């Protein structure tokens, strides 16, 4: 039964990290530079997930809808900015540290991540074992290392298309 909860957590982690969206678009775009650039963005987004985990865990009954609406608006504006930056091929930062903060800020303002934690995250904490939480973050770690590797290894032939598709998804 212990392995079941951990495996279920990995699947939930991949369901959070894997879908096409703004964060994976930036990871793909940054992975064209190097695997580490993409992984750094993913690590920032995973830090945002850990922040949401803590918020949901400790404040489940006190989360205000007005705060969420404000975060959605800020997140939407940030996504538009990043989409345009991808089209121009100028990211806000070229350093790994800056890439981490791009992933962190995107994760903290990403409506998908917020909604995931308010739905599946609540379920995870209420119904499943703490091993599921460990599995969840294991699944995210698997994604943030394998996805940038695959893009860096095989995506260079499709760099132009990756940039256009990434910008479209973000906007």
For 104-147, what is each residue's pLDDT tens digit? Answer: 998 898 877 887 787 777 777 777 778 888 999 999 999 999 99
Query: What is the pTM for the complete model shown?
Result: 0.74
Into how many domains does the chain fold? 1
Q: What is the domain extent for residue 98?
A: 1-167
The whole-angstrom separation of Cα 17 and Cα 54 is 18
For 14-73, what is each residue's pLDDT tens digit? Answer: 877 877 777 888 898 888 888 999 999 999 999 999 999 898 888 766 766 676 667 667
């Amino acid at each position: 039964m212990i392995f079941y909860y951990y495996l279920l957590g990995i699947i939930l982690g991949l369901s959070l990290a894997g879908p096409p969206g703004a964060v994976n678009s930036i990871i793909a775009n940054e992975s064209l530079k190097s695997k580490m650039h993409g992984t750094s963005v993913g690590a920032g987004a995973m830090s945002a997930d850990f922040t949401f985990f803590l918020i949901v865990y400790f404040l489940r009954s006190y989360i205000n809808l007005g705060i969420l609406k404000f975060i959605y608006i800020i997140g939407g504006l940030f996504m538009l900015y990043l989409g345009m930056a991808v089209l121009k091929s100028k990211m806000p930062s070229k350093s790994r540290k800056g890439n981490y903060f791009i992933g962190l800020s995107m994760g903290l303002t990403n409506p998908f991540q917020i909604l995931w934690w308010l739905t599946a995250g609540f379920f995870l904490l209420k119904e499943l074992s703490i091993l599921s939480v460990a599995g969840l973050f294991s699944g995210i770690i698997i994604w943030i290392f394998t996805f940038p590797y695959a893009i860096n290894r095989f995506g260079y032939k499709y760099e132009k298309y990756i940039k256009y598709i990434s910008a479209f998804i973000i906007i």
